[in-house]
Amino acid sequence: MNEKEITLDHTDRQIIAALQENGRESYKSIAQRLGVSDGTVRLRTERLLKSGYLRISASVNPMFFEDGLTATVGVSLEGRANAQIMQAIADLEGVQSVSNVSGRFDLLVEIHVASRSDLRRFLVDDLSALGAVQNTETFLYLETINKWVQQRQEDTK
């Protein structure tokens, strides 16, 4: 399903708002609050998930523990930003998101890593190995409000 195949109405937006407050809330509970059937909530949520418009996931506060670093890396490329280089960067360990942006950088890459040595590995080894990176500038997060990231893979082992 693409953007043109999905149209959101008031009920869809209310369901999304409820799931943003609590992604674990039951369809039945949401349905009662909205005055619709739980089947309506379930079917609409499934449609939003299938279309790629909605994703329900668990995120962690990157500032909760002292043993992790979160940063945005501005990346200037030798050539133009394209889907292949964006995907190659997205596949690197620690990458949360890759955005093609306007401004002085070609891409903004958000990362969450365990240590300074992992940050160095990402910047010096991993990005350099791609061969398309001209230069980078790293913005390390010192404090955040309302910032959530995906748990690092090494935390699940």
In a domain, 58, yes or no: no
Same domain, 42 and 75: no
pLDDT tens-place string over residues 47-105: 999 999 999 988 888 888 777 899 999 999 999 889 999 999 999 999 999 999 999 99
- Angstrom distance (rounded) from CA 145 to CA 148: 9
Same domain, 96 and 131: yes
* Structural contact between residues 54 and 45, judged by C-beta atoms closer than 8 angstroms: yes
Same domain, 91 and 39: no
Provide the residue range defining the domain that includes 27: 3-51
pLDDT tens-place string over residues 111-147: 999 999 999 999 999 999 998 999 999 999 999 998 8
In a domain, 63, yes or no: no
Could you tell me the CATH number of the domain that includes residue 150? Answer: 3.30.70.920
What is the pTM for the complete model shown?
A: 0.80
